Amino acid sequence: MTNKAGDSIETENANWSFGGDVPNTFDSHVSRSVPLYNEGHELILKLADYFLHNDSVCYDLGCSTGELIRKITEHTNKDIKFIGVDCENSMLNKARGKSYGKHNVDFIEGDLENIELEKSDLIICYYTIQFIPPKYRQQLIDTIYESLNWGGAFILFEKVRAPDSRFQDIMTGVYTDYKLDQGYNAEEIINKSRSLKGILEPFSLKGNTDLLERAGFVDYMSVSKYISFEGILAIK
């Protein structure tokens, strides 16, 4: 049985998917669903200036429709190799269309659990790790750390859990109000939440920074925060 989750997206209980018809409305849906989503893109463009140089390699892991890569390639005129990775072929079809004709952009279909990365100066996970099964997350962060050149950066944006139940209740309520303000109705909000059971598994901020520290990152800081959505810049 499918249910409506807004923006013409149909979902099933505990079975959210980024495939099927989701890529057709993904950009508009995620922009309405995630606070400061587009502003996060703009922040990443500015941060990228400090780490991308001629001959740099830049990864966007979980690139979805390739919108962020499109924006970065239009933001810089340096000779940079961009690689987007996603497990959904229908997402990558959208991504390839957005970067059609750009010789320095490549998209790879594959899961992140066992990915191999070449040496790079910037790796971005924009609301990606939260969808990776927890048992694989440390392995992925370890791979990211090893891939980065010394002085390279990892930009991680995630939905995060609050540090205790009281704060979690408050953040959940505020986020529900946010989605209502965006025009989603109660049924759509509940359907989306039910579809994400066992699919979206946020860690707390400490849980995410523990992953970074175990991988070897020492220098990191929060660069964006709104309700339960946080961006971290980590430098090797």
pLDDT in tens, 122-142: 999 999 999 999 999 999 999
Q: Are residues 71 and 57 in the same domain?
A: yes
Q: Are residues 25 and 74 in the same domain?
A: no
CATH number of the domain within which 62 lies: 3.40.50.150
The yes-or-no verdict on residue 171 having pLDDT over 70 is: yes
pLDDT in tens, 44-65: 999 999 999 999 999 999 999 9
Contacts of residue 122, Cβ cutoff 8 Å, sequence gap at least 6: 48, 51, 52, 56, 58, 59, 152, 153, 154, 155
Supply the range of the domain harboring residue 174.
1-33+163-206
**Cα(112)–Cα(109) distance, integer angstroms:** 10
- Cα angle 100, 17, 160; round to 5: 95
DSSP state at residue 200: -
